[in-house]
Amino acid sequence: MKGTKLEYRDCGWVWAFVCFFACVYSFPGLASDEGHESSVIQLNSDCPPGFEQVTGRCYLRNLYQLYDSLQNAGVGGLKTGLPVIRDGFTPQQIDLGRYLFFDPLLSSDGTLSCGSCHHPDLGFADGRSRSIGVTGEPVKRSAPSLWNVGFLDRLFWDARATTLEEQVQGPLYAVDEMGNSEKQLLASLNASPVYRRLFQDAFQSSRIIAAEVYTAIAAFEASLISLNSRYDQYAHGYHAALTNEEIEGLNIFRSFVARCAECHTPPLFTNQEIAIIGSPEPEGLPFDAGEGELTDEPTQRGGFKIPSLRNIAATAPYMHSGNFADLRDTVSFYTKGRGHAVPENEQLSIHWHIWEPDLADHELDLLVTFLHTLTDESMQPQIPKRVPSGLMPVGEIPGVPVEDLAPGD
Ligand code: HEC
Ligand code: HEC
């Protein structure tokens, strides 16, 4: 008579833990506009869900932090520790970062915010194969999701930045993205009495400097945690969280036949290495050498950072080029033969874990079924109803009807 009830009770201690962390650390801090309905924008003094406030700073609390490091658990192990996260920011810095992130004031012409290309309703990506910047032209690559980005020590598809503060200067000042300059950015922020007051609250400074802008945005980004998917509940010991098919998919994912977990290693579903897998560009677009472009080193041509697969079901299209429209096409890429999509004039040092697993159609389906269990958007922050500049929060999302993505929906 082993029903769901018994199984549930069997792992009651796990739930006690989950509830302890979820309840103690969630409720005070939900990033909301509570109190912001009044005319004055005030920064939240509570930490976001999942973070504990210790002497005025926010620290992540998560079950995975109780587990051993990757080294002790083996690739594909369920109870595997997390890498170090960038935490320790104050609630005010995190909330200020939220306003900056969604304020189109940060772009040269006031049309785009970070949220235009990293929209919470689109898995913090933008649903496009290549993002569109202030010039109206597509940029070179697809916008990655920002979920769990606080754990990453390599950023951008070609891993050219190592910190969030360094990374943020890319989109801000690239002519084809937000097209701003540091001088204009600081002038427009310092011209806003609201921003001056908010920076004073977050940094106790009387004049806004660039480093504070970068810190606040990094603080907000590092608060985007997605670690409570059905997969996670299963990993923590609640067996009934996944169906038999999903478990079969997980087992294929971490098998030495498919080898997905060698690179997309749990719990982040990336080991943060760079790998050359030889994924194709869309028809008519030139070969993107990825990391090889930065170094001129032939053996690094075609190298891209292994992306996390968290919330992957929300971030189509896929790969640096956005070449694959859905997960089924993406997963099929891995079974079509090593180097099958590499242009004839390129000699790529394809990674040794990319081989010919010869997966059957139903196994590819099961992989996709499993990838859907990695969805958890429960800690999605609220888009501010108003931003300090008075511009429309989020700004434009090229190609997406505004009414579909109205703030606060
Ligand atoms: C025009 C669209 C666009 C805007 C606006 C934009 N981004 Fe991005 N973002 C991208 C694209 C495209 C990439 C990938 C570029 C690459 O790897 O070469 C990216 C990459 C990133 C990454 C790296 C993620 C990873 O996993 O490596 C972070 C972090 C990020 N953006 C944050 C921001 C922030 C913060 C802002 C606002 C200051 C912003 N972005 C504005 C399109 C945009
Ligand atoms: C050798 C390391 C490696 C292995 C093994 C591997 N991947 Fe990947 N994966 C990558 C890299 C690198 C990228 C990004 C490549 C690019 O953008 O061109 C990627 C991209 C993806 C993406 C798209 C992510 C996004 O955000 O667009 C999915 C989905 C994916 N892999 C699933 C899988 C599955 C399923 C398997 C097993 C069948 C697998 N991967 C095996 C390295 C690997």
DSSP notation for 261-279: HHHS-TTTT----EEE--P
Q: Is the pLDDT of residue 359 over 80?
A: yes
- 370 shares a domain with 270: yes
Give the range among 6-10, 224-228, 241-245, 340-344 with minimum mean pLDDT.
Answer: 6-10
Q: What is the CATH number of the domain that holds 58?
A: 1.10.760.10
Question: Is the pLDDT reported for residue 32 higher than 60?
Answer: no
Q: pLDDT higher for 32 or 218?
A: 218
266 or 69: which leads in pLDDT: 266
Q: Looking at the domain assignment, is residue 2 inside a domain?
A: no
Residue 355: which domain range? Answer: 230-374
- What percent of the chain lies above the pLDDT cut of 90? 81
Same-domain check for residues 219 and 283: no
If you search the block for the tokens 């053996």, which residue do you land on? 299
Per-residue model confidence (pLDDT) at position 356: 86
Q: What is the pLDDT of residue 408?
A: 45
236/361 same-domain check: yes
- As a whole number of angstroms, the distance between CA 349 and CA 278 comes to 9
Q: What is the mean pLDDT of residues 163-189?
A: 98
Q: Is the pLDDT of residue 231 over 80?
A: yes
What gap in Å lies between CA 185 and CA 81, rounded to an integer?
39
Cβ neighbours of residue 274 under 8 Å, at least 6 residues apart?
154, 158, 159, 290, 291, 300, 303, 304, 305, 306
Cα separation of the two ends of the chain? 45
Bridge-based pairing state of the strands 57-60 and 51-54: antiparallel
Q: Which of 100, 106, 114, 175 to mutate to test the pocket of ligand 1 (most atoms within 8 A of CB)?
A: 114
134 lines ligand 1 (CB under 6 A): no
Report the run of H or E that residue 170 belongs to, with start and end: helix 164-173
Residues 210 and 247 in one domain: no
How many domains does the structure of the chain reveal? 2
Residue 1 has pLDDT above 70, yes or no: no
Ligand 1 in contact with 268 (CB < 6 A)? Answer: no
Instruction: Give me the pLDDT at residue 247, please.
Output: 98
Is residue 321 within 6 Å of ligand 1 at its C-beta?
no
Evaluate whether residue 6 is within a structural domain.
no
Does residue 38 share a domain with residue 107? yes
Same domain? 38 vs 183? yes
204 with 282, same domain: the answer is: no
CB atoms within 10 A of CB 230: 18
CA atoms of 145 and 79, how far apart (whole Å):
24
Q: State the pLDDT at residue 113.
A: 98
- Residue pair 270/264 in contact by the 8 Å Cβ criterion: yes
Residues, the chain: 409
Alpha carbon distance 2, 282 (integer Å): 51
- The answer to whether residues 185 and 157 belong to one domain is yes
405 band by pLDDT with thresholds 50, 70 and 90: low
Q: How confident is the model at residue 242 (pLDDT cuts 50, 70, 90)?
A: very high
- Classify residue 235: in a domain, yes or no: yes
**What average pLDDT does range 291-317 have in this prediction?**
95
Q: Are residues 117 and 19 in the same domain?
A: yes
Give residue 171 CA to ligand 1 midpoint distance, Å: 6
205 lies in some domain = yes
**183 and 277 in one domain?**
no
Query: Are both 256 and 363 inside the same structural domain?
Result: yes
| 308-320 pLDDT, tens digit each | 999 999 999 999 9
**Nearest 5°: CA angle at 182, between 177 and 183?**
130
Q: Pick from 118, 255, 270, 306 the residue to mutate for probing ligand 2's pocket: most ligand atoms within 8 Å of its CB.
A: 306
**Does 267 lie in the same domain as 210?**
no
Q: Could you tell me if residue 5 is inside a domain?
A: no
Ligand that lies nearest to the alpha carbon of residue 172, given by its number in the listed order: 1
Is the CB–ligand 1 distance for residue 178 below 6 Å?
yes
More confident residue, 237 or 405: 237
Best probe residue, ligand 1, of 117, 180, 182, 221 (max atoms within 8 Å of C-beta): 117
**Backbone region of residue 337 per phi and psi (left: phi > 0; alpha: psi in -120 to 50; beta: other values):** left
Residue 138 bridge partners (DSSP): 132
Q: Is any atom of ligand 2 closer than 6 Å to the C-beta of 263?
A: yes
Q: Tell me how many degrees the CA angle 99-100-103 measures, rounded to the nearest 5.
A: 85
3 lies in a domain?
no
pLDDT (tens digit per residue) in 6-24: 333 333 444 444 444 443 3
Residue 2, pLDDT above cutoff 70:
no
Residue 80: pLDDT over 90:
no
- Distance from C-alpha of 149 to C-alpha of 153, rounded to nearest angstrom: 9
Residue-level pLDDT at 24: 39
| Per-residue pLDDT, 101 | 98
**C-beta 334 within 6 A of ligand 2:** yes
Domain annotation covers residue 4:
no
Domain contains 170: yes
Distance 48 CA to ligand 2 centre (A): 30
Q: pTM for the whole thing?
A: 0.91
